Amino acid sequence: LQKSLSVTFGADKYSRARKEVLTYMFSRPMQMALYFCTGVLDDEALFHHYALNVPFYTHFTSPIRRYADIVVHRLLSASLGARSPIKMEKQAIQKQADHCNDRKMASKRVQELSADLFFSVFVRVRP
């Protein structure tokens, strides 16, 4: 697959852009991760990470990147006793998670539309 993709990407000035767009389009069908407050879910099976096959999973990146990561860092620190507990109700945390999910989905949609536009231009100009 990688060999055939390399041929498809080509070696011109747009090859890197084509690679990024096509790779993104191949991974687009994957289910997007969602933020949620564990305290509002009754089914612990929802905490499972399918690809990693682990029963409990949390994800975050550097807290300088996204608000959701700041919240996760603070909650994790509080649960480990490294800081005082967060003074937010579970429903308020879930409301923040829902908002972050909405913004993430809107951003992803714009990214998809941009990729679709580039792909259509690529198909049009490619012999």
Per-residue model confidence as pLDDT tens digits over 4-61: 767 777 778 888 887 887 777 776 666 677 888 888 888 887 787 777 888 888 777 7
Reading the block at residue 45, the tokens are 């099976």
Judged against a pLDDT cut of 70, whether residue 86 lies above it is answered with yes
Higher pLDDT among residues 10 and 88, named by residue: 88
Distances (CA, A) of 18 to 53, 126, 127: 32, 11, 15
Tell me the domain boundaries of the chain: 1-30, 35-125
* pLDDT score of 58: 79
* pLDDT score of 29: 64
Rounded to an integer, what distance in angstroms lies between the CA atom of residue 61 and that of residue 88?
Answer: 22
Reading the block at residue 90, the tokens are 């579970």
* pLDDT score of 82: 94
Side-chain-side CA neighbours of residue 49 (13 Å): 10
Judged against a pLDDT cut of 70, whether residue 81 lies above it is answered with yes
Average pLDDT over residues 75-87: 90
Main-chain phi, psi angles of 49, to 5 degrees: -105, 115
Rounded to an integer, what distance in angstroms lies between the CA atom of residue 40 and that of residue 126?
Answer: 51
